[in-house]
Protein backbone atom coordinates (compact mmCIF):
# COMPACT_ATOMS: atom_id res chain seq x y z
CA UNK A 1 0.00 0.00 0.00
CA UNK A 2 1.42 3.38 -0.98
CA UNK A 3 1.11 6.12 1.68
CA UNK A 4 -0.24 9.27 0.04
CA UNK A 5 -0.28 11.29 3.27
CA UNK A 6 1.44 14.61 2.64
CA UNK A 7 2.07 14.04 -1.06
CA UNK A 8 1.83 17.08 -3.30
CA UNK A 9 -0.03 17.39 -6.58
CA UNK A 10 1.12 19.98 -9.11
CA UNK A 11 -0.77 21.32 -12.12
CA UNK A 12 1.57 21.01 -15.08
CA UNK A 13 1.86 24.18 -17.13
CA UNK A 14 0.32 26.16 -14.26
CA UNK A 15 2.53 28.84 -12.75
CA UNK A 16 1.49 30.46 -9.45
CA UNK A 17 0.49 34.10 -9.63
CA UNK A 18 2.71 36.31 -7.49
CA UNK A 19 1.04 39.53 -6.41
CA UNK A 20 2.19 41.72 -3.57
CA UNK A 21 -0.94 42.71 -1.62
CA UNK A 22 0.89 44.46 1.22
CA UNK A 23 0.72 47.81 -0.48
CA UNK A 24 -2.88 47.59 -1.66
CA UNK A 25 -4.91 50.57 -0.51
CA UNK A 26 -7.31 49.71 2.30
CA UNK A 27 -5.19 46.89 3.71
CA UNK A 28 -5.84 47.27 7.43
CA UNK A 29 -3.90 45.93 10.40
CA UNK A 30 -6.87 45.11 12.65
CA UNK A 31 -7.78 41.60 11.50
CA UNK A 32 -10.48 41.30 14.17
CA UNK A 33 -12.56 43.89 12.34
CA UNK A 34 -14.55 42.11 9.60
CA UNK A 35 -14.60 45.30 7.54
CA UNK A 36 -10.80 45.42 7.25
CA UNK A 37 -8.82 43.65 4.58
CA UNK A 38 -8.41 40.08 5.69
CA UNK A 39 -6.93 39.25 2.29
CA UNK A 40 -3.72 40.86 3.57
CA UNK A 41 -3.21 37.88 5.89
CA UNK A 42 -2.22 35.65 2.96
CA UNK A 43 -0.66 35.69 -0.46
CA UNK A 44 -2.86 35.49 -3.51
CA UNK A 45 -4.09 31.92 -4.02
CA UNK A 46 -1.67 30.11 -6.39
CA UNK A 47 -4.68 28.82 -8.37
CA UNK A 48 -6.15 32.27 -8.96
CA UNK A 49 -4.96 32.67 -12.55
CA UNK A 50 -6.91 29.64 -13.75
CA UNK A 51 -9.47 28.58 -11.13
CA UNK A 52 -12.95 30.03 -11.60
CA UNK A 53 -13.99 29.65 -7.96
CA UNK A 54 -13.06 33.12 -6.68
CA UNK A 55 -13.29 36.48 -8.43
CA UNK A 56 -12.12 38.86 -5.70
CA UNK A 57 -8.65 37.49 -4.91
CA UNK A 58 -6.27 40.35 -4.13
CA UNK A 59 -9.06 42.84 -3.45
CA UNK A 60 -9.09 44.13 0.16
CA UNK A 61 -11.99 42.65 2.09
CA UNK A 62 -13.50 46.04 2.87
CA UNK A 63 -13.54 46.76 -0.86
CA UNK A 64 -15.24 43.40 -1.50
CA UNK A 65 -17.95 44.32 0.99
CA UNK A 66 -18.42 47.73 -0.62
CA UNK A 67 -18.78 46.12 -4.07
CA UNK A 68 -21.48 43.77 -2.87
CA UNK A 69 -23.27 46.46 -0.88
CA UNK A 70 -23.34 48.74 -3.93
CA UNK A 71 -24.60 45.89 -6.11
CA UNK A 72 -27.65 45.41 -3.88
CA UNK A 73 -28.22 49.17 -3.69
CA UNK A 74 -28.12 49.62 -7.48
CA UNK A 75 -30.48 46.72 -8.15
CA UNK A 76 -33.00 48.14 -5.68
CA UNK A 77 -32.70 51.63 -7.18
CA UNK A 78 -33.26 50.21 -10.67
CA UNK A 79 -36.58 48.78 -9.50
CA UNK A 80 -37.41 51.93 -7.50
CA UNK A 81 -37.55 49.98 -4.23
CA UNK A 82 -36.73 52.27 -1.28
CA UNK A 83 -36.51 50.50 2.11
CA UNK A 84 -37.26 52.55 5.21
CA UNK A 85 -33.98 51.41 6.69
CA UNK A 86 -30.89 49.77 5.16
CA UNK A 87 -28.12 48.47 7.41
CA UNK A 88 -24.49 48.16 6.39
CA UNK A 89 -23.45 44.81 4.94
CA UNK A 90 -22.24 42.31 7.53
CA UNK A 91 -19.05 40.47 6.65
CA UNK A 92 -17.61 37.18 7.85
CA UNK A 93 -15.34 36.70 10.84
CA UNK A 94 -12.83 35.25 8.40
CA UNK A 95 -12.58 35.34 4.63
CA UNK A 96 -10.90 31.93 4.58
CA UNK A 97 -11.51 28.26 5.42
CA UNK A 98 -15.27 28.77 5.68
CA UNK A 99 -16.71 26.31 3.15
CA UNK A 100 -18.00 23.06 4.63
CA UNK A 101 -18.71 21.38 1.29
CA UNK A 102 -16.74 21.05 -1.94
CA UNK A 103 -17.53 19.15 -5.11
CA UNK A 104 -14.39 18.53 -7.15
CA UNK A 105 -14.15 17.18 -10.70
CA UNK A 106 -11.63 14.76 -12.23
CA UNK A 107 -10.14 15.67 -15.60
CA UNK A 108 -6.97 17.14 -17.09
CA UNK A 109 -5.59 20.64 -17.37
CA UNK A 110 -4.46 20.19 -20.97
CA UNK A 111 -5.90 17.72 -23.46
CA UNK A 112 -4.63 14.20 -22.77
CA UNK A 113 -2.50 15.56 -19.91
CA UNK A 114 -1.98 14.00 -16.49
CA UNK A 115 -4.93 13.43 -14.19
CA UNK A 116 -6.15 16.51 -12.30
CA UNK A 117 -8.75 16.96 -9.59
CA UNK A 118 -10.34 20.26 -8.71
CA UNK A 119 -12.33 23.06 -10.30
CA UNK A 120 -13.18 24.05 -13.86
CA UNK A 121 -10.73 26.46 -15.46
CA UNK A 122 -12.08 29.96 -16.05
CA UNK A 123 -14.15 30.05 -19.22
CA UNK A 124 -13.37 26.42 -20.00
CA UNK A 125 -15.76 23.48 -19.90
CA UNK A 126 -13.15 20.75 -20.38
CA UNK A 127 -10.06 21.90 -18.46
CA UNK A 128 -9.79 21.04 -14.75
CA UNK A 129 -7.38 22.79 -12.36
CA UNK A 130 -6.06 20.86 -9.35
CA UNK A 131 -6.82 23.14 -6.38
CA UNK A 132 -4.72 21.55 -3.65
CA UNK A 133 -3.99 24.91 -1.96
CA UNK A 134 -7.51 26.34 -1.96
CA UNK A 135 -7.93 28.97 0.76
CA UNK A 136 -11.71 28.81 1.08
CA UNK A 137 -11.69 25.32 2.62
CA UNK A 138 -10.22 23.76 5.73
CA UNK A 139 -6.74 22.29 5.17
CA UNK A 140 -8.22 18.77 5.59
CA UNK A 141 -10.00 19.22 2.25
CA UNK A 142 -6.66 19.88 0.53
CA UNK A 143 -5.06 16.87 2.25
CA UNK A 144 -7.89 14.61 1.13
CA UNK A 145 -7.78 15.98 -2.42
CA UNK A 146 -4.02 15.33 -2.64
CA UNK A 147 -4.41 11.84 -1.19
CA UNK A 148 -7.25 10.90 -3.53
CA UNK A 149 -5.49 12.26 -6.60
CA UNK A 150 -2.28 10.42 -5.71
CA UNK A 151 -4.20 7.20 -5.13
CA UNK A 152 -5.96 7.42 -8.52
CA UNK A 153 -2.70 8.18 -10.35
CA UNK A 154 -1.00 5.24 -8.62
CA UNK A 155 -3.86 2.96 -9.66
CA UNK A 156 -3.85 4.29 -13.21
CA UNK A 157 -7.51 5.28 -13.14
CA UNK A 158 -8.70 7.55 -15.94
CA UNK A 159 -10.96 10.56 -15.61
CA UNK A 160 -14.44 10.33 -17.06
CA UNK A 161 -14.47 12.19 -20.37
CA UNK A 162 -17.50 14.41 -20.87
CA UNK A 163 -17.65 13.89 -24.64
CA UNK A 164 -16.50 10.29 -25.15
CA UNK A 165 -18.20 9.17 -21.89
CA UNK A 166 -15.30 6.86 -21.12
CA UNK A 167 -13.23 6.66 -17.96
CA UNK A 168 -13.86 5.78 -14.31
CA UNK A 169 -13.31 8.83 -12.09
CA UNK A 170 -15.94 11.59 -12.03
CA UNK A 171 -16.09 13.61 -8.79
CA UNK A 172 -14.94 13.89 -5.21
CA UNK A 173 -17.39 15.41 -2.71
CA UNK A 174 -16.19 16.36 0.79
CA UNK A 175 -18.47 17.60 3.59
CA UNK A 176 -17.58 18.58 7.15
CA UNK A 177 -19.28 19.47 10.40
CA UNK A 178 -17.89 22.75 11.71
CA UNK A 179 -19.04 22.12 15.29
CA UNK A 180 -18.89 18.31 15.27
CA UNK A 181 -15.49 18.24 13.47
CA UNK A 182 -16.70 15.27 11.42
CA UNK A 183 -15.83 14.65 7.76
CA UNK A 184 -17.71 12.66 5.13
CA UNK A 185 -15.98 11.65 1.87
CA UNK A 186 -17.93 10.62 -1.22
CA UNK A 187 -16.04 9.38 -4.30
CA UNK A 188 -18.15 9.50 -7.47
CA UNK A 189 -17.26 7.07 -10.24
CA UNK A 190 -18.74 5.37 -13.24
CA UNK A 191 -19.58 1.71 -12.69
CA UNK A 192 -16.60 -0.60 -13.08
CA UNK A 193 -18.09 -1.96 -16.31
CA UNK A 194 -18.72 1.46 -17.86
CA UNK A 195 -15.47 2.94 -16.49
CA UNK A 196 -13.26 0.19 -17.86
CA UNK A 197 -11.52 -0.45 -14.52
CA UNK A 198 -12.25 -1.97 -11.12
CA UNK A 199 -12.18 0.62 -8.35
CA UNK A 200 -10.37 -0.69 -5.26
CA UNK A 201 -12.83 0.16 -2.50
CA UNK A 202 -10.86 -1.37 0.37
CA UNK A 203 -7.53 0.22 -0.49
CA UNK A 204 -9.22 3.57 -1.06
CA UNK A 205 -10.70 3.49 2.45
CA UNK A 206 -7.36 2.50 4.00
CA UNK A 207 -5.63 5.39 2.22
CA UNK A 208 -8.15 7.89 3.62
CA UNK A 209 -7.92 6.47 7.15
CA UNK A 210 -4.13 6.99 7.12
CA UNK A 211 -4.36 10.69 6.29
CA UNK A 212 -3.34 13.04 9.10
CA UNK A 213 -6.59 15.00 9.48
CA UNK A 214 -7.77 17.47 12.12
CA UNK A 215 -11.34 16.24 11.67
CA UNK A 216 -12.75 12.82 12.47
CA UNK A 217 -13.43 10.79 9.33
CA UNK A 218 -16.88 9.29 9.97
CA UNK A 219 -17.85 7.87 6.59
CA UNK A 220 -16.57 6.95 3.13
CA UNK A 221 -19.10 6.55 0.32
CA UNK A 222 -18.93 5.55 -3.31
CA UNK A 223 -21.57 6.93 -5.63
CA UNK A 224 -22.04 5.12 -8.94
CA UNK A 225 -23.02 7.49 -11.73
CA UNK A 226 -23.28 6.34 -15.35
CA UNK A 227 -25.50 9.26 -16.37
CA UNK A 228 -24.37 11.32 -19.36
CA UNK A 229 -25.21 14.53 -17.47
CA UNK A 230 -22.31 16.57 -16.12
CA UNK A 231 -23.61 16.39 -12.55
CA UNK A 232 -23.37 14.19 -9.47
CA UNK A 233 -26.38 11.91 -9.87
CA UNK A 234 -26.66 9.18 -7.20
CA UNK A 235 -27.81 6.24 -9.28
CA UNK A 236 -26.37 3.95 -6.59
CA UNK A 237 -24.68 4.84 -3.28
CA UNK A 238 -22.49 2.37 -1.38
CA UNK A 239 -21.19 2.86 2.16
CA UNK A 240 -17.58 1.72 1.92
CA UNK A 241 -16.87 2.44 5.58
CA UNK A 242 -18.57 4.14 8.53
CA UNK A 243 -21.83 6.04 8.04
CA UNK A 244 -23.56 8.01 5.28
CA UNK A 245 -24.03 11.27 7.23
CA UNK A 246 -22.29 13.74 9.52
CA UNK A 247 -23.65 15.83 12.38
CA UNK A 248 -23.82 19.60 12.57
CA UNK A 249 -25.34 22.30 14.78
CA UNK A 250 -26.95 25.64 14.05
CA UNK A 251 -27.96 27.90 16.94
CA UNK A 252 -27.95 24.97 19.34
CA UNK A 253 -30.09 22.64 17.20
CA UNK A 254 -28.65 19.38 15.92
CA UNK A 255 -28.79 18.35 12.27
CA UNK A 256 -28.04 15.02 10.65
CA UNK A 257 -26.68 15.89 7.20
CA UNK A 258 -26.63 13.15 4.57
CA UNK A 259 -24.38 13.02 1.53
CA UNK A 260 -26.90 14.72 -0.77
CA UNK A 261 -28.83 16.94 1.64
CA UNK A 262 -28.71 20.68 1.07
CA UNK A 263 -27.10 22.44 4.01
CA UNK A 264 -25.65 25.90 4.52
CA UNK A 265 -22.12 26.08 3.11
CA UNK A 266 -20.91 28.59 5.71
CA UNK A 267 -22.47 27.54 8.99
CA UNK A 268 -21.26 30.34 11.26
CA UNK A 269 -22.30 33.02 8.77
CA UNK A 270 -25.69 31.32 8.35
CA UNK A 271 -26.21 31.47 12.12
CA UNK A 272 -25.81 35.27 12.10
CA UNK A 273 -28.13 35.61 9.11
CA UNK A 274 -30.84 33.36 10.60
CA UNK A 275 -30.66 35.10 13.96
CA UNK A 276 -31.16 38.46 12.24
CA UNK A 277 -34.07 37.15 10.15
CA UNK A 278 -35.94 35.70 13.12
CA UNK A 279 -35.31 38.74 15.34
CA UNK A 280 -37.15 40.87 12.76
CA UNK A 281 -40.45 39.12 13.51
CA UNK A 282 -42.55 41.03 16.03
CA UNK A 283 -43.69 38.88 19.01
CA UNK A 284 -43.12 35.46 17.44
CA UNK A 285 -44.50 33.62 20.48
CA UNK A 286 -47.87 32.02 19.79
CA UNK A 287 -47.85 32.75 16.05
CA UNK A 288 -48.34 30.35 13.15
CA UNK A 289 -45.53 30.62 10.60
CA UNK A 290 -45.26 29.39 7.03
CA UNK A 291 -41.63 28.76 6.04
CA UNK A 292 -41.63 28.57 2.24
CA UNK A 293 -38.75 27.03 0.26
CA UNK A 294 -37.61 25.62 3.60
CA UNK A 295 -34.92 23.22 2.37
CA UNK A 296 -33.97 20.83 5.18
CA UNK A 297 -36.02 22.91 7.62
CA UNK A 298 -33.20 24.77 9.36
CA UNK A 299 -35.07 28.07 9.72
CA UNK A 300 -38.34 26.21 10.40
CA UNK A 301 -36.91 24.50 13.46
CA UNK A 302 -35.34 27.67 14.82
CA UNK A 303 -38.74 29.39 14.41
CA UNK A 304 -40.45 26.46 16.13
CA UNK A 305 -38.53 27.13 19.34
CA UNK A 306 -40.83 30.15 19.89
CA UNK A 307 -43.71 29.97 17.40
CA UNK A 308 -47.00 28.18 18.04
CA UNK A 309 -46.43 26.00 14.98
CA UNK A 310 -44.50 26.06 11.71
CA UNK A 311 -45.38 24.68 8.28
CA UNK A 312 -42.37 24.16 6.01
CA UNK A 313 -42.82 23.64 2.26
CA UNK A 314 -40.03 22.47 -0.03
CA UNK A 315 -39.97 21.04 -3.56
CA UNK A 316 -37.17 18.49 -2.98
CA UNK A 317 -38.55 15.37 -1.29
CA UNK A 318 -35.21 14.27 0.15
CA UNK A 319 -34.83 17.65 1.87
CA UNK A 320 -38.30 17.30 3.40
CA UNK A 321 -37.50 13.81 4.72
CA UNK A 322 -34.30 15.22 6.25
CA UNK A 323 -36.30 18.08 7.81
CA UNK A 324 -38.74 15.64 9.42
CA UNK A 325 -35.91 13.50 10.79
CA UNK A 326 -34.05 16.50 12.21
CA UNK A 327 -37.20 17.92 13.83
CA UNK A 328 -37.66 14.59 15.58
CA UNK A 329 -33.99 14.60 16.58
CA UNK A 330 -34.48 18.00 18.21
CA UNK A 331 -37.72 17.00 19.93
CA UNK A 332 -39.84 19.52 18.01
CA UNK A 333 -43.43 18.37 17.49
CA UNK A 334 -44.81 21.72 16.31
CA UNK A 335 -43.16 21.49 12.85
CA UNK A 336 -44.88 20.01 9.81
CA UNK A 337 -43.17 19.63 6.43
CA UNK A 338 -44.76 19.06 3.03
CA UNK A 339 -42.95 18.24 -0.21
CA UNK A 340 -44.15 19.97 -3.35
CA UNK A 341 -44.39 23.18 -5.36
CA UNK A 342 -45.11 26.11 -3.02
CA UNK A 343 -48.10 27.40 -4.99
CA UNK A 344 -49.70 23.96 -5.38
CA UNK A 345 -49.17 22.99 -1.73
CA UNK A 346 -50.54 26.30 -0.42
CA UNK A 347 -53.61 25.88 -2.62
CA UNK A 348 -54.48 22.76 -0.63
CA UNK A 349 -53.68 24.09 2.85
CA UNK A 350 -56.63 25.39 4.90
CA UNK A 351 -54.64 26.95 7.76
CA UNK A 352 -53.85 30.66 7.60
CA UNK A 353 -50.43 31.98 8.71
CA UNK A 354 -49.69 34.93 10.97
CA UNK A 355 -46.20 35.37 9.50
CA UNK A 356 -44.56 34.14 6.28
CA UNK A 357 -40.84 33.49 5.87
CA UNK A 358 -39.46 32.86 2.37
CA UNK A 359 -35.99 31.63 1.43
CA UNK A 360 -36.30 30.94 -2.31
CA UNK A 361 -33.64 29.61 -4.72
CA UNK A 362 -31.69 31.97 -6.96
CA UNK A 363 -34.56 32.22 -9.48
CA UNK A 364 -36.65 33.93 -6.80
CA UNK A 365 -40.41 33.54 -6.27
CA UNK A 366 -42.62 33.03 -9.31
CA UNK A 367 -45.63 35.40 -9.76
CA UNK A 368 -48.34 32.81 -9.02
CA UNK A 369 -46.63 31.86 -5.76
CA UNK A 370 -46.24 35.57 -4.91
CA UNK A 371 -49.94 36.10 -5.57
CA UNK A 372 -50.80 33.29 -3.19
CA UNK A 373 -48.49 34.72 -0.51
CA UNK A 374 -50.02 38.19 -0.95
CA UNK A 375 -53.56 36.77 -0.70
CA UNK A 376 -53.03 35.80 2.96
CA UNK A 377 -52.61 39.46 3.88
CA UNK A 378 -50.21 38.71 6.73
CA UNK A 379 -48.79 41.70 8.54
CA UNK A 380 -45.16 40.60 8.17
CA UNK A 381 -43.09 38.81 5.53
CA UNK A 382 -39.42 38.01 6.08
CA UNK A 383 -37.51 37.43 2.84
CA UNK A 384 -34.11 35.70 2.93
CA UNK A 385 -32.43 36.09 -0.46
CA UNK A 386 -29.40 34.53 -2.15
CA UNK A 387 -29.78 36.59 -5.34
CA UNK A 388 -30.18 40.40 -5.14
CA UNK A 389 -31.40 40.61 -8.74
CA UNK A 390 -34.47 38.41 -8.25
CA UNK A 391 -34.92 39.88 -4.77
CA UNK A 392 -35.32 43.38 -6.23
CA UNK A 393 -37.86 42.07 -8.78
CA UNK A 394 -39.90 40.29 -6.08
CA UNK A 395 -39.82 43.30 -3.74
CA UNK A 396 -41.11 45.57 -6.52
CA UNK A 397 -44.00 43.15 -7.06
CA UNK A 398 -44.79 42.94 -3.33
CA UNK A 399 -44.72 46.72 -2.93
CA UNK A 400 -47.14 47.15 -5.84
CA UNK A 401 -49.60 44.86 -4.07
CA UNK A 402 -49.55 46.56 -0.70
CA UNK A 403 -46.35 45.71 1.14
CA UNK A 404 -43.58 48.09 2.20
CA UNK A 405 -39.92 47.20 2.67
CA UNK A 406 -39.22 48.28 6.24
CA UNK A 407 -35.74 46.89 6.73
CA UNK A 408 -32.97 45.44 4.57
CA UNK A 409 -29.50 44.15 5.39
CA UNK A 410 -26.98 42.42 3.09
CA UNK A 411 -24.69 39.65 4.36
CA UNK A 412 -21.43 38.48 2.83
CA UNK A 413 -21.49 34.76 3.64
CA UNK A 414 -19.10 33.84 0.82
CA UNK A 415 -15.99 36.06 0.77
CA UNK A 416 -13.87 36.13 -2.43
CA UNK A 417 -16.92 35.09 -4.49
CA UNK A 418 -19.64 37.11 -6.23
CA UNK A 419 -22.47 35.86 -3.99
CA UNK A 420 -24.34 38.05 -1.52
CA UNK A 421 -27.23 37.21 0.83
CA UNK A 422 -29.87 39.67 2.01
CA UNK A 423 -32.46 39.71 4.81
CA UNK A 424 -35.60 41.83 4.35
CA UNK A 425 -38.65 42.67 6.47
CA UNK A 426 -41.85 43.72 4.71
CA UNK A 427 -45.06 44.87 6.38
CA UNK A 428 -48.61 45.18 5.08
CA UNK A 429 -49.66 48.79 4.40
CA UNK A 430 -52.87 48.54 2.34
CA UNK A 431 -55.37 46.10 0.91
Active site residue 294: no
Q: Three-state DSSP class for 373?
A: helix
For residues 268 and 400, give the distance between their C-alpha atoms in angstroms, rounded to a whole number. Answer: 35
Neighbouring residues of 48: CB distance < 8 A, sequence distance ≥ 6: 17, 54, 57, 58
Rg (CA), the chain: 23
Decide if 185 contacts 216 (C-beta within 8 A). no
Query: 292: closest CA among 220, 333, 345, 249?
Result: 345
SS3 content of the chain, % helix, strand, coil (to 5): 25, 25, 45
The residues with which 411 forms a beta bridge, in sequence order, are 90, 421
DSSP state for residue 287 in the 8-state scheme: -
Give the torsion sign (CA, 65, 67, 68, 69): positive
Give 102-131 as a 3 state SS string: EEEEEEECCCCCCEEEEEEECCCCCEEEEC
> 216-224 and 182-189: which strand pairing?
parallel
Q: Three-state DSSP class for 276?
A: helix
Helix (H) or strand (E) holding 346: helix 342-347
Q: For residue 348, how many C-alpha atoms fall within 13 Å in the half-sphere facing its CB?
A: 8
For residues 175 and 44, give the distance between their C-alpha atoms in angstroms, rounded to a whole number. Answer: 25
Decide if 419 contacts 386 (C-beta within 8 A). yes
Q: For residue 211, how many C-alpha atoms fall within 13 Å in the half-sphere facing its CB?
A: 27
Catalytic residues: 386
Amino acid sequence: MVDFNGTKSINKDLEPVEIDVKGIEGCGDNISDVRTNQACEREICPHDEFCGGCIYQGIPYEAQLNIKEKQVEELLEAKKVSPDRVDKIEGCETAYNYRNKMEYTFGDFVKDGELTLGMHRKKSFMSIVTVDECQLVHSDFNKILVGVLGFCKYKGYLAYHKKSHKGLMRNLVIRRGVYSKEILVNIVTASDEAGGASFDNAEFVEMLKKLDLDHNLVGVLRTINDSLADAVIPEKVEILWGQDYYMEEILGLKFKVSAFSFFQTNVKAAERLYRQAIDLIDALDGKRVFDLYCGTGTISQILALKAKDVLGIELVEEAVEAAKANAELNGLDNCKFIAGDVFEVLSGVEEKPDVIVVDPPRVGIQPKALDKIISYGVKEIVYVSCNPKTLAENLKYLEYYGYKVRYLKPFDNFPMTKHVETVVLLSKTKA
